Amino acid sequence: MAALTLRHALAAPFTTTSHTFAVDLNTGASTHTVTYPAITDQYVLLGTSTTDALQRLQTAMNAPAPALPGGVSFAVAMSASGKVVITCTGDTFKYGASLPSAEIGKTLGFTASVASFVASVTADQQPKYLALFVEMQGLVWQPLGQNAYAESAGAVSYGYQSSVLMWAARDVRFGFVPRDPSYTDTNTTQTPWHPADAMLSTLGTHAVPWGVSDVLRVSGGKTLHLAHQNLQTLLTSTTAVYYNVCLIGADLAAARIERQTGAWDKYLRWTATLLRQTTPTGTRA
Protein backbone atom coordinates (compact mmCIF):
# COMPACT_ATOMS: atom_id res chain seq x y z
CA MET A 1 0.00 0.00 0.00
CA ALA A 2 1.37 3.43 -0.94
CA ALA A 3 2.00 5.91 1.84
CA LEU A 4 -1.00 8.14 2.47
CA THR A 5 -0.41 11.90 2.40
CA LEU A 6 -1.86 14.09 5.11
CA ARG A 7 -4.13 16.54 3.26
CA HIS A 8 -6.65 17.76 5.84
CA ALA A 9 -6.57 18.94 9.45
CA LEU A 10 -8.89 20.13 12.19
CA ALA A 11 -7.36 22.34 14.90
CA ALA A 12 -8.97 23.21 18.25
CA PRO A 13 -7.97 26.28 20.28
CA PHE A 14 -6.09 26.02 23.55
CA THR A 15 -4.61 28.30 26.20
CA THR A 16 -1.15 28.44 27.75
CA THR A 17 0.18 30.20 30.80
CA SER A 18 3.51 32.04 30.64
CA HIS A 19 6.32 29.56 31.26
CA THR A 20 10.01 29.02 30.51
CA PHE A 21 12.48 26.36 29.40
CA ALA A 22 16.24 26.37 28.84
CA VAL A 23 18.19 25.86 25.61
CA ASP A 24 21.95 25.29 25.55
CA LEU A 25 24.13 26.30 22.60
CA ASN A 26 27.32 24.45 21.79
CA THR A 27 29.47 27.47 20.94
CA GLY A 28 30.54 29.13 24.15
CA ALA A 29 28.55 26.58 26.18
CA SER A 30 25.87 29.23 26.71
CA THR A 31 22.45 28.66 28.29
CA HIS A 32 19.45 30.70 27.18
CA THR A 33 16.06 30.94 28.89
CA VAL A 34 13.10 30.90 26.52
CA THR A 35 9.83 32.40 27.75
CA TYR A 36 6.68 31.18 26.04
CA PRO A 37 3.86 33.70 26.64
CA ALA A 38 0.39 33.26 28.05
CA ILE A 39 -1.92 33.00 25.04
CA THR A 40 -5.66 32.40 24.84
CA ASP A 41 -7.21 30.70 21.80
CA GLN A 42 -4.08 29.70 19.96
CA TYR A 43 -3.88 26.87 17.43
CA VAL A 44 -1.28 24.37 16.29
CA LEU A 45 -0.23 25.40 12.75
CA LEU A 46 -3.65 26.69 11.64
CA GLY A 47 -3.42 30.16 13.12
CA THR A 48 -2.06 33.62 12.41
CA SER A 49 1.41 34.82 13.35
CA THR A 50 0.04 35.73 16.79
CA THR A 51 -2.15 32.65 17.35
CA ASP A 52 -0.13 29.84 15.71
CA ALA A 53 1.79 27.99 18.43
CA LEU A 54 4.60 27.10 16.02
CA GLN A 55 5.22 30.70 15.02
CA ARG A 56 4.95 31.88 18.61
CA LEU A 57 7.48 29.27 19.75
CA GLN A 58 9.84 30.31 16.97
CA THR A 59 9.55 33.95 18.04
CA ALA A 60 10.19 33.03 21.67
CA MET A 61 13.21 30.87 20.86
CA ASN A 62 14.77 33.70 18.86
CA ALA A 63 14.35 36.18 21.72
CA PRO A 64 15.67 34.39 24.83
CA ALA A 65 17.56 35.79 27.78
CA PRO A 66 20.42 36.32 27.29
CA ALA A 67 20.11 37.07 23.56
CA LEU A 68 21.34 34.59 20.98
CA PRO A 69 24.82 35.19 19.52
CA GLY A 70 25.00 36.84 16.11
CA GLY A 71 24.25 34.49 13.24
CA VAL A 72 22.32 32.01 15.39
CA SER A 73 18.58 31.52 14.89
CA PHE A 74 15.84 28.94 15.35
CA ALA A 75 13.08 27.81 12.99
CA VAL A 76 9.98 25.90 14.11
CA ALA A 77 7.93 24.08 11.49
CA MET A 78 5.82 20.97 10.96
CA SER A 79 6.97 18.03 8.83
CA ALA A 80 4.86 16.42 6.12
CA SER A 81 4.08 13.62 8.58
CA GLY A 82 2.65 16.01 11.16
CA LYS A 83 5.47 16.30 13.70
CA VAL A 84 7.00 19.58 14.88
CA VAL A 85 10.63 20.18 13.90
CA ILE A 86 13.00 22.67 15.58
CA THR A 87 16.09 23.61 13.57
CA CYS A 88 19.04 25.72 14.66
CA THR A 89 21.09 27.73 12.13
CA GLY A 90 24.60 28.90 13.02
CA ASP A 91 25.14 26.51 15.95
CA THR A 92 23.93 23.26 17.52
CA PHE A 93 21.69 23.05 20.57
CA LYS A 94 20.27 20.80 23.27
CA TYR A 95 17.57 21.23 25.89
CA GLY A 96 17.85 18.24 28.21
CA ALA A 97 14.49 17.65 29.88
CA SER A 98 13.50 21.32 29.93
CA LEU A 99 11.38 21.43 26.75
CA PRO A 100 9.60 18.07 27.33
CA SER A 101 8.63 19.25 30.81
CA ALA A 102 7.47 22.68 29.61
CA GLU A 103 3.81 23.29 28.82
CA ILE A 104 4.40 24.09 25.14
CA GLY A 105 6.78 21.16 24.74
CA LYS A 106 4.19 18.72 26.05
CA THR A 107 1.54 20.23 23.77
CA LEU A 108 3.69 19.99 20.64
CA GLY A 109 4.71 16.38 21.21
CA PHE A 110 8.21 16.63 22.71
CA THR A 111 8.56 13.85 25.29
CA ALA A 112 12.26 12.85 25.29
CA SER A 113 15.18 14.91 26.54
CA VAL A 114 17.94 15.97 24.13
CA ALA A 115 21.23 15.84 26.00
CA SER A 116 23.63 15.95 23.03
CA PHE A 117 24.14 18.92 20.71
CA VAL A 118 22.21 18.62 17.44
CA ALA A 119 21.24 20.90 14.56
CA SER A 120 17.61 19.72 14.38
CA VAL A 121 15.11 17.91 16.58
CA THR A 122 11.80 16.31 15.58
CA ALA A 123 9.05 15.89 18.15
CA ASP A 124 8.44 12.36 19.38
CA GLN A 125 4.68 12.54 18.80
CA GLN A 126 2.21 14.61 16.80
CA PRO A 127 0.78 17.62 18.72
CA LYS A 128 -2.27 17.84 20.89
CA TYR A 129 -5.30 19.87 19.73
CA LEU A 130 -4.74 18.88 16.08
CA ALA A 131 -6.38 16.04 14.14
CA LEU A 132 -4.71 15.13 10.84
CA PHE A 133 -6.48 13.26 8.03
CA VAL A 134 -5.62 11.69 4.69
CA GLU A 135 -9.18 11.44 3.38
CA MET A 136 -12.12 13.83 3.58
CA GLN A 137 -15.16 13.45 1.34
CA GLY A 138 -18.41 15.32 0.90
CA LEU A 139 -17.41 18.89 1.77
CA VAL A 140 -20.17 20.73 -0.10
CA TRP A 141 -21.29 23.97 1.57
CA GLN A 142 -25.03 24.66 1.76
CA PRO A 143 -26.09 28.24 2.57
CA LEU A 144 -28.25 28.62 5.64
CA GLY A 145 -29.99 31.88 6.53
CA GLN A 146 -32.42 33.22 9.09
CA ASN A 147 -35.32 33.23 6.65
CA ALA A 148 -39.09 32.91 6.84
CA TYR A 149 -41.17 32.55 3.70
CA ALA A 150 -44.69 31.59 2.73
CA GLU A 151 -46.78 31.64 -0.40
CA SER A 152 -50.01 33.49 -0.98
CA ALA A 153 -53.12 31.97 -2.55
CA GLY A 154 -52.15 33.77 -5.69
CA ALA A 155 -48.79 31.91 -5.85
CA VAL A 156 -46.75 34.88 -4.67
CA SER A 157 -43.81 34.29 -2.34
CA TYR A 158 -43.47 36.65 0.61
CA GLY A 159 -41.52 36.85 3.86
CA TYR A 160 -38.12 38.10 5.01
CA GLN A 161 -34.48 37.19 4.62
CA SER A 162 -31.67 38.02 7.04
CA SER A 163 -28.46 39.47 5.63
CA VAL A 164 -26.48 36.98 7.74
CA LEU A 165 -25.57 33.62 6.22
CA MET A 166 -23.78 30.60 7.57
CA TRP A 167 -22.87 27.49 5.65
CA ALA A 168 -23.34 23.80 6.44
CA ALA A 169 -21.47 20.82 5.05
CA ARG A 170 -23.58 17.83 5.98
CA ASP A 171 -22.26 14.31 6.50
CA VAL A 172 -18.62 15.00 5.71
CA ARG A 173 -16.70 11.71 5.84
CA PHE A 174 -13.17 11.40 7.22
CA GLY A 175 -11.72 8.06 6.15
CA PHE A 176 -8.78 5.73 6.83
CA VAL A 177 -8.70 6.80 10.49
CA PRO A 178 -6.70 4.24 12.50
CA ARG A 179 -8.70 2.89 15.41
CA ASP A 180 -5.96 3.64 17.97
CA PRO A 181 -2.16 4.16 18.07
CA SER A 182 -1.52 0.42 17.89
CA TYR A 183 -2.85 0.40 14.31
CA THR A 184 -0.75 3.27 12.96
CA ASP A 185 2.20 2.59 10.66
CA THR A 186 4.21 4.29 7.92
CA ASN A 187 1.13 4.24 5.66
CA THR A 188 -1.18 5.88 8.19
CA THR A 189 0.53 8.85 9.80
CA GLN A 190 -2.81 10.49 10.45
CA THR A 191 -4.32 10.90 13.90
CA PRO A 192 -5.96 7.72 15.26
CA TRP A 193 -9.56 7.77 16.44
CA HIS A 194 -8.77 6.94 20.06
CA PRO A 195 -5.64 7.37 22.17
CA ALA A 196 -4.30 4.32 23.98
CA ASP A 197 -6.92 2.44 25.99
CA ALA A 198 -5.34 3.58 29.25
CA MET A 199 -6.12 7.20 28.29
CA LEU A 200 -9.80 6.80 27.42
CA SER A 201 -10.89 7.99 30.87
CA THR A 202 -8.91 11.23 30.49
CA LEU A 203 -9.87 12.35 26.98
CA GLY A 204 -8.63 15.84 26.20
CA THR A 205 -6.40 16.11 29.28
CA HIS A 206 -3.71 13.43 28.98
CA ALA A 207 -0.22 13.44 27.47
CA VAL A 208 0.48 12.65 23.81
CA PRO A 209 -0.31 10.74 21.71
CA TRP A 210 -3.80 12.11 21.24
CA GLY A 211 -6.69 10.84 19.11
CA VAL A 212 -9.48 12.50 17.15
CA SER A 213 -11.77 11.79 20.11
CA ASP A 214 -9.47 13.92 22.31
CA VAL A 215 -9.82 16.84 19.89
CA LEU A 216 -13.61 16.43 19.90
CA ARG A 217 -13.58 16.43 23.70
CA VAL A 218 -12.11 19.95 23.79
CA SER A 219 -14.08 21.34 20.80
CA GLY A 220 -17.45 22.09 22.39
CA GLY A 221 -18.36 25.75 22.12
CA LYS A 222 -15.15 26.49 20.20
CA THR A 223 -14.22 27.83 16.77
CA LEU A 224 -12.15 25.21 14.96
CA HIS A 225 -9.83 25.78 12.03
CA LEU A 226 -10.10 23.40 9.08
CA ALA A 227 -7.52 22.72 6.38
CA HIS A 228 -9.25 21.16 3.38
CA GLN A 229 -7.02 19.50 0.75
CA ASN A 230 -4.20 22.01 1.33
CA LEU A 231 -2.52 20.93 4.57
CA GLN A 232 0.82 20.30 2.85
CA THR A 233 0.70 23.82 1.38
CA LEU A 234 -0.18 25.34 4.74
CA LEU A 235 2.96 23.83 6.28
CA THR A 236 4.95 26.65 4.69
CA SER A 237 2.47 29.11 3.15
CA THR A 238 1.21 32.29 4.79
CA THR A 239 -1.31 32.92 1.98
CA ALA A 240 -3.10 29.55 1.70
CA VAL A 241 -6.46 29.70 3.47
CA TYR A 242 -8.24 27.65 6.10
CA TYR A 243 -11.87 27.68 7.24
CA ASN A 244 -13.39 28.83 10.54
CA VAL A 245 -15.88 26.11 11.48
CA CYS A 246 -17.63 24.37 14.32
CA LEU A 247 -19.07 20.90 14.78
CA ILE A 248 -22.79 20.54 15.42
CA GLY A 249 -23.71 19.59 18.98
CA ALA A 250 -25.11 16.18 18.06
CA ASP A 251 -21.77 15.11 16.58
CA LEU A 252 -19.90 16.33 19.64
CA ALA A 253 -22.25 14.47 21.95
CA ALA A 254 -22.31 11.20 19.98
CA ALA A 255 -19.73 10.88 17.22
CA ARG A 256 -20.78 8.90 14.15
CA ILE A 257 -18.06 6.32 13.65
CA GLU A 258 -17.98 3.00 11.76
CA ARG A 259 -15.48 0.47 10.50
CA GLN A 260 -14.35 1.39 7.00
CA THR A 261 -13.80 -2.16 5.76
CA GLY A 262 -16.32 -4.58 7.19
CA ALA A 263 -15.25 -6.27 10.42
CA TRP A 264 -11.60 -5.18 10.17
CA ASP A 265 -10.73 -2.88 13.07
CA LYS A 266 -7.74 -1.06 11.59
CA TYR A 267 -9.48 1.75 9.66
CA LEU A 268 -12.55 3.70 10.73
CA ARG A 269 -14.68 6.34 9.03
CA TRP A 270 -15.93 9.34 11.01
CA THR A 271 -18.96 11.28 9.70
CA ALA A 272 -19.71 14.79 10.91
CA THR A 273 -21.59 17.95 9.96
CA LEU A 274 -19.56 21.16 9.88
CA LEU A 275 -20.86 24.71 10.09
CA ARG A 276 -18.73 27.39 8.44
CA GLN A 277 -18.79 30.87 9.93
CA THR A 278 -17.27 32.89 7.07
CA THR A 279 -15.70 32.54 3.68
CA PRO A 280 -12.30 30.80 3.91
CA THR A 281 -10.07 33.78 4.60
CA GLY A 282 -7.94 32.55 7.51
CA THR A 283 -4.21 32.46 6.74
CA ARG A 284 -0.99 31.95 8.72
CA ALA A 285 0.11 35.52 8.06
Phi-psi category of residue 129: left, alpha or beta, with phi > 0 → left and psi -120 to 50 → alpha:
left
User: Is residue 4's pLDDT more than 60?
Assistant: yes
Instruction: Check residue 167 and give its pLDDT.
Output: 92
Instruction: Check residue 2 and give its pLDDT.
Output: 63
User: Is residue 50's pLDDT more than 60?
Assistant: yes
Instruction: Check residue 191 and give its pLDDT.
Output: 96
User: Is residue 187's pLDDT more than 90?
Assistant: no
SS3 percent helix, strand, coil of the chain, rounded to 5, is 15, 40, 45
| Interval 165-179 mean pLDDT | 93
| Interval 139-155 mean pLDDT | 87
| Interval 240-267 mean pLDDT | 94
Domain positions in the chain: 11-125
Q: What is the mean pLDDT of the chain?
A: 94
pLDDT tier for residue 1 given thresholds of 50, 70 and 90: low
User: Is residue 164's pLDDT more than 80?
Assistant: no
The upper half-sphere exposure of residue 72, i.e. CA atoms within 13 Å in the direction of its Cβ, equals 21
Kindly report which listed range (19-33, 141-155, 171-185) carries the lowest average pLDDT score. Answer: 141-155
Instruction: Check residue 148 and give its pLDDT.
Output: 82
Sign of CA dihedral 43, 47, 49, 55: positive
Closest CA to 10 of 212, 179, 257: 212
User: Is residue 26's pLDDT more than 80?
Assistant: yes
